[in-house]
DNA sequence: CGAGAGGTTGAGCAATCTCAACGGGGGTGG
DNA sequence: CCACCCCCGTTGAGATTGCTCAACCTCTCG
């Protein structure tokens, strides 16, 4: 089994980025430090000691895991308001900025204190964790039991929904490359490309450019995604 | 794509099982109702209204999801102390007893009240959710990027660890059938069987019976599981 | 205009699935 | 007690999906 084509694609490691003390109450615990990351920048690596938890204030980041020989699996996208790094001695995933992003971080100790003192925060964290878990479970079904067409259809519908596109006739700009789609779906870039071409030939979608997409028949696409198409 | 061989394997739906009010403080919120389920019995179905959360007191249960055409993906095993059903309007998975099992359940409202009143319980729930999430992420890497040998090796090592087998030379009785291994790994039963045969031929494992297994070379198996074998 | 990055397409191949047959062990009924 | 049956695991052969390797295309940027 060869290396994933994305194995060597990591951006520069975060180091000399701008940091300043935050005064916003909207931050994680009110005492965080904000961090700016450029698109593609690595924020932390799988296996780093887990000293802080982070919250995304703006932009988007991705969580990923990899095997020893460089294959890569995208775990999740995080957008404004979402957190990572709440548990464990080491981060079990790497984190990269997808777009220019602002994050705030707080030490694990400060985090634990906040949870103890503010039941409302505890409840929010539990809800968030449960929602993430449900998404992870959905993704496990996709990765384990769906074929390439079903995977791509699922992703396109998910993107349309999350981007707030018109449900009757979703049209939007793909926010991720073919490689990122492949890493998320457990496919190769070629298979993603071929599958999209096939969906286009079948008139389920239309592409104006490789990134401008219209889901011409969302119901049919949904049927395909659920395995009844 | 054909039906999973397990599609029609569901046990009887839980209905007339013994229920009694629990008085144990060890229960979820101290006011739950205990439930007995026989091995193989369905405790709840994917899509049922999510009115209660459950905790496993003894035995083991499995969570699974399925596609419209009957393919099945195992999400997780839960053993004594673990919970499910904490969030969402409907259960996003089905639940079956693997062994004879005892569970306790409490209404979502009681659960929420307990979290508000007991910060310690909130912390435990957050920890548990984060641990589950980490396991889900690991499984996503397995499902998306590992081949059959790596998947089976990963599962065998995971089972050995969770069953408390001697790390130097793990030997144990497999607690799940080939079909359950397949459902967990996103493979077919035949591929699981062939892969185990192959591992046996390569002297990485030994089978006394189809269920009595010895991991003869755990280090080599671990290297295989991580993709560096 | 040349180079590089990303996407698409083609041909062949390998891993896995599908369909089918076979075998052992345990329980059941005669 | 034995024959039968059923469940489960194993094995084989062939089909299929998705991967690998390679070429080509388009667009953007110097």
Mean pLDDT of A190-206: 98
The C-alpha atoms of residue B106 and residue B156 are separated, in whole angstroms, by 34
Q: Which of A1, A137, A141 comes nearest B147 by C-beta?
A: A1
Question: Rounded CA gap, B103 and B36, in Å?
Answer: 6
C-alpha span between A207 and A216 (Å, rounded): 10
If you average pLDDT over residues B153-181, what whole number do you get?
Answer: 95
Answer yes or no: do B145 and A86 touch at CB < 8 A. Answer: no
Identify the pLDDT of residue B45: 94
Nearest by CB: B122 against A126, A138, A144: A126
Percent of chain B with pLDDT over 90: 58
The mean pLDDT value of chain A amounts to: 85
Three-state secondary structure readout of chain A: CCCCCCCCCCCCECCCCCEEECCCCCCCCCCCEEEEECCCCEEECCCCECCEEEEEEECEEEEEEECCCCCEEEEEEEECCCEECCCCCECCCEEEECCCEEEEEEEHHHHHHHHHHCHHHHHHHHHHHHHHHHHHHHHHHHHHHCCHHHHHHHHHHHHHHHCCCCCCCCEEECCCCHHHHHHHHCCCHHHHHHHHHHHHHCCCCEECCCCEEECCCHHHHHHHHCCCC
Checking if the pLDDT of B38 tops 80, the result is: yes
Q: What pLDDT is recorded for position B110?
A: 84
Range name among A142-151, B71-80, B138-147, B179-188 with the lowest pLDDT average:
B71-80
Query: Which pTM was predicted?
Result: 0.88
Q: What is the three-class DSSP state of B56? A: strand
Which chain B residues have a beta carbon less than 8 Å from that of A143? 140, 143-144, 186
Confidence class for position B108, pLDDT limits 50, 70, 90: confident
Residues forming a β-bridge with B207 = B213
Report all structural domains of chain A as residue ranges with CATH numbers, in order of start. Answer: 5-143 (2.60.120.10), 146-225 (1.10.10.10)
Question: CB-based contacts of B180: which residues, under 8 Å, 6+ apart?
Answer: B62, B74
* Per-residue confidence band for A31, with pLDDT thresholds at 50, 70 and 90: low
Q: Which nucleotide is nearest to A145 (CA to C1')?
A: C17
Cβ neighbours of residue B32 under 8 Å, at least 6 residues apart? B22, B55, B104, B105, B106
Strand D closer than 7 Å to the CB of B196?
Answer: yes
- pLDDT band of residue A32 (cuts 50, 70, 90) is confident
Cα–Cα dist A144/A159, whole Å: 20
Return the pLDDT at A39: 87
Closest C-alpha among A2, A52, A6 to residue A27: A52
pLDDT given for residue B149 in this prediction = 98
Q: How far is CA A173 from CA A8, A148, A165, B82, in A?
A: 26, 21, 10, 42
Q: Other C-beta atoms within 10 Å of B18: how many?
A: 9
**Secondary structure class of B205 (helix, strand, coil):** coil
Phi/psi for B175 (5° steps) reads -85, -5
Listed residue (B119, B56, B129, B59) closest to B87, CA to CA: B129
Tell me the chain B residues in contact with residue A139 when contact means C-beta distances shorter than 8 Å: 140
A160 with A215: CB under 8 angstroms? yes
Q: Supply the pLDDT for residue B21.
A: 37
Nucleotides in D strand less than 7 A from protein CB: 8-13, 17-22
Q: Which residue carries 């060869």 as its tokens?
A: A2
Does at least one atom of strand C sit less than 7 Å from the CB of A7? no
Binary contact (A140, B71; C-beta < 8 A): no
């Amino acid at each position: 089994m060869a290396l994933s084509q994305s194995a060597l694609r990591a951006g520069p490691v975060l180091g000399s980025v701008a940091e300043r003390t935050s005064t916003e109450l909207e931050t994680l615990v009110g005492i965080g430090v904000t961090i700016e990351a450029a698109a593609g920048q690595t924020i932390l690596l799988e296996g780093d000691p887990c000293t802080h938890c982070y919250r995304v204030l703006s932009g988007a980041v991705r969580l990923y895991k990899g095997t020893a020989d460089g294959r890569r699996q995208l775990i999740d996208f995080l957008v404004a308001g979402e957190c990572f790094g709440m548990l464990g001695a080491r981060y079990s995933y790497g984190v990269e900025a997808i777009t220019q992003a602002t994050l705030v971080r707080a030490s694990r100790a400060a985090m634990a204190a906040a949870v103890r003192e503010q039941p409302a925060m505890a409840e929010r964290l539990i809800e968030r964790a449960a929602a993430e878990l449900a998404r992870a479970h959905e993704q496990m079904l996709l990765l384990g039991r769906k074929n390439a067409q079903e995977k791509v259809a699922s992703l396109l519908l998910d993107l349309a929904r999350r981007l707030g596109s018109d449900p009757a006739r979703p049209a939007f700009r793909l926010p991720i490359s073919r490689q990122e789609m492949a890493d998320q779906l457990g496919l190769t870039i070629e298979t993603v490309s071929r599958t999209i071409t096939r969906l286009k030939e079948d008139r389920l979608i239309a592409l104006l450019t490789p990134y401008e997409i219209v889901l011409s028949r969302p119901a049919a696409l949904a049927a395909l995604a659920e395995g009844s198409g």
